Structure 1
Amino acid sequence: MPVTVKPLWIKPLCIMLAVVALATLLFSGVGQGLWHSLVADIIALQRTLHRGLASAMMALSRREGIGDWLDLMLLSLGYGVFHALGPGHGKAVVATYLLTHRAALTRGLVMTASAALLQGVVAIAMVTVLVLGLGWLTRDAMAGTVWIEKASFVAVTALGLWLVYRAGRGLQRLRSESASAPAAGPLQPGALRLTPTQPAGASVMTPLHHAGSNACHCCSGAHHIDPMTSGRHWREMLAAIVSIGLRPCSGAVMVLGVAAMLGFWWAGVLSVLSMSIGTALSTSLLATLTVLARVRMAHLFQRTGTRRPLGIGYTLALLGGVLITLLGIALLINAPDAALSPLMRGPLG
């Protein structure tokens, strides 16, 4: 009985069609309506959690029992987890960077955890200076974060432009090396593939992988074109961490303001650190799923046996840089001048 074999290109085609269908739904009128409704529900729930955090801080100031401390820390941790699940530019930057750049899972986890911690540190430093040092109200301090937000959006734009510049230089170097290389017969298939299966924790997608060494099979030369083999990727990661973590969490600012008002400053600091841990848990999950998706896509396309264009990794990096740049510009254009966050409107603002 003959056995039918499914062509290997079926799975990649199905994935691409699913992505196109999802994008079409999101940009349609129905998708936009559902999105705005979801955002409104998330803001309403976050406002409720803000009030819960303030109530837990007030209860702690009255009793200072172990149960009150535990309630505040667990509520702060849960708020951090939920807050990171909502829409935000940080998740977009993380997902785009990890999806289009060859970064190991460990680096992605370091980036997300560091960005979450930086958000908490920025909130603590800002409230310390503005509320404790200058005597501002919590509402005024929250409104003043608009300038920090704009600085964060500028950092996102600068990161995108740097990624575009570096990827463009890599493509230009590949073109010049290919033009100057002597003709030596057809290219070997192994020189055009994505990286073969690596041990756990290793990177999967490279701009151009020459198996075994840096020597090129087509020109017998050395192509130093892997951007992740040098220390520059750590500078990129640092820029991504700053662009994400520079914008403080509104809940952290609020709970610190209440803590300062009640005279329980260190309780507020511990609460914010708990929020950072919760945020790190959610964003690390996003980083893990993104890296695994990138690895899976690389394996699917590798199994098709299709000859890959020279410099596919740099092309993906260029695309990621363009997307991050456009995101930063859009955030800057739509950033309010001095509007109060909707989360801070109400009796606890």
Structure 2
Amino acid sequence: MRLRIFTEPQQGATYETQLAVAKAAEDLGFDAFFRSDHYVKMGDVTGDPGPTDSWITLGALARETSRIRLGTLVTAATFRHPGPLAISVAQVDRMSAGRVDLGLGTGWFEEEHTAYGIPFPSLRERFARLEEQLEILTGLWGTPSGETYSFSGEHYTLTDSPALPKPARAGGPPVIIGGTGAKRTPRLAARYADEYNVPFTQPEGTAAAFDRVRAACAEAGRTKPLAYSVAQVVCCGRDEAEVSRRAAAIGREVPELRANGLTGTPGELVDKIGRFAELGAERVYLQVLDLGDLEHLELLAAEVMAKL
């Protein structure tokens, strides 16, 4: 089981804060540092100093880290055209010597689109755009050097693209598709994903989602291995007082966090992560919401990760 640190910088985090978390995660032995791709804060926080762009941030982190993997959970397909996105991700992948994973989704938070003048079409159209983006990204990255790539779809058209730059990894970075949709998500995961992620869902719902994707892979005749993962908010403490202190710091109640995330003592977390492992999960994204509490990461590394 690999543990990955997953952050929400739109809630109020400078680049310097993200760098400190990424470097701590690397030094402590976590597998990856991931961040969300949002432009507006959520909930009752100030959001200061404002959003940071995910791929600009990851490009900088690529040059200031050496081992840890870097990625998004998840980039919104509404934010960027697929051609420029392919360039950005490939460049960051080369800057990191092949340590990038791309999580890509439809986009869902309407407020951030209206706040920054980004079109927010219907869910049906967003899924159609996501599918075309996945086809284009993988097509551009997989085009042999010296050849061009063209694509004609309902929403995007590319003509004789040089398909450059090439990522460090042949074929491009691993692609992560997440969500619990019953039909479209499993189909897209079976066709395009290297990893399927179930976010913020308890083991029973996670099992059902994993089974739907496995069935879609079988129906599609997929033989390439697919990694399975989960994302869970984390709030760990050596005792109940420390758990309560960390819950209060992120504006949450301990009973709610225990019911819906990975919350409690290290032993409790190890047991629940074990339940996800029994379902086939290979990676857990620990959503860390207080980015100033590096002692939290130290505890998770020493008392949870070390015992898995």
> How does the TM-score come out when normalised to structure 1?
0.23
Structure with bigger strand share is 2
| Higher gyration radius (CA) | 1
> How does the TM-score come out when normalised to structure 2?
0.25
